[in-house]
Amino acid sequence: MPLICVCSPKGGVGKTTVAANLSYALARSGIKVLAIDFDVQNALRLHFGVPLSDGRGYVAKSMENPDWSQYVLTTGGNIFVLPYGDSTEEQRVAFEDRLANDEHFLARGLSTLLNYPGLVVVADFPPGPGPALKAIASIADLNLVTMLADTASLSLLPQVENQRMIGGPLNHRAGHYFLINQADTRRHISRDVTSFMEERLGERLLGVVHRDESVVEAHAAQKSIFEFSPASAAAFDIEIISKKVASILGVKVGDGEVHASPKLSGY
């Protein structure tokens, strides 16, 4: 089933926020979504109502159990979450080592999940290149590269465009697309960089998400932007991007049923 990877050459640009809200956007149109975290920060789960004190996840168990599906947390809605979880330094190093040296490790870990009928998988990555982003290239369907509308992001654009991020294509299917996050129309530089990227990237730029306080407040309230502030600019922007992603991947959008905020049940 479609595997979408949210990545970026730079940290703090909003990858986790985008991954979470894209998952919500797809889920509210009736699609079942699995959100997977590949970042040791283990922050993705916090967007789905998993308490800070809940350290469950797949990484610590990934050496002893080749199938990671049993570490999925189910929510009350259409969203499933596979948190990175708490891990020791040894566990993290062993996980990354295995990702780098065993080409089947990741595909095996996700194989049950990727074969689940109708499930769309959204994976969140740490910034820059890394063993997980490299390992997933062979099975990823689409990469969504998150950029800011600033000069630092602009200077890193050639890295992505010239396949310098992981030394090859980010995936072998739909390719990579871009998203500009935290665009601020009141700032000159933001407007200039946005229009430059629009021109340079053309169809590869799936959309622009405005800087919007509702995004931060929704996260603090552990809600999706759609539930917290459905009329906000960011909700509108992410909705458009999710429709484009679904259309590129040929994902059938379901009944449009909006589900309640997640209630977690353990694995």
Ligand X SMILES: Nc1ncnc2c1ncn2[C@@H]1O[C@H](COP(=O)(O)OP(=O)(O)O)[C@@H](O)[C@H]1O
Question: Judged by CB under 6 A, which of 7, 16, 34, 165 binds ligand X?
Answer: 16
CA 83, 87, 91, 92 dihedral sign is positive
Count residues binding ligand X (CB under 6 A). Answer: 16
Q: Which two tokens stand for residue 207?
A: 């959309």
Please report how close the Cβ of residue 117 comes to Mg ion at its closest, in angstroms.
29
Is residue 182 part of the contact set for ligand X (CB under 6 A)? yes
**Contact flag: residue 209 with ligand X (CB under 6 A):** yes
The one among 2, 3, 9, 15 contacting ligand X by CB under 6 A: 15
DSSP string, 147-182: EESSHHHHHHHHHHHTT-SSSS-S-SSS-EEEEEEE
Q: Closest approach of Cβ 50 to Mg ion, in Å?
A: 15
Task: Encode 59-83 in three state secondary structure.
Answer: HHHCCCCCCHHHHCEECCCCEEEEC
Choose between 95 and 125: whose C-beta lies nearer to Mg ion.
Answer: 125
Q: Give 13 or 123: the residue with its C-beta nearer to ligand X.
A: 13
- For ligand X, the closer of residues 13 and 135 by Cβ is 13
Burial class (CB in 10 A: 0-12, 13-18, 19+), 110: buried
Single out the residue of 115, 196, 150, 134 nearest to residue 7, CA to CA.
134
Q: Does 215 bind ligand X (CB under 6 A)?
A: yes
- The region of 11-19, 53-61, 151-159, 242-250 touching ligand X under the rule CB under 6 A is 11-19
Which value, in Å, is the radius of gyration of the alpha carbons in the chain? 17
Q: Based on the shown chain and the rule CB under 6 A, indicate whether residue 181 belongs to the binding site for ligand X.
A: yes
155 CB-near residues (< 8 Å, 6+ apart): none
Per the listing, tokens 């072998």 go with: 172
14 binds ligand X (CB under 6 A): yes
Q: Does 234 bind ligand X (CB under 6 A)?
A: yes
Shortest Cβ 146–ligand X spacing (Å): 6
Q: Is 185 in the site for ligand X (CB under 6 A)?
A: no
Question: At its nearest, how many Å lie between Mg ion and the CB of residue 253?
Answer: 27
Q: Which of residues 73-132 bind ligand X (CB under 6 A)?
A: none
99: nearest Cα among 142, 56, 134: 134
Cα dist. 256→144, 224, 252 in Å?
23, 16, 11
Binding site for ligand X (CB under 6 A): 11-17, 181-182, 209, 211-212, 215-216, 219, 234
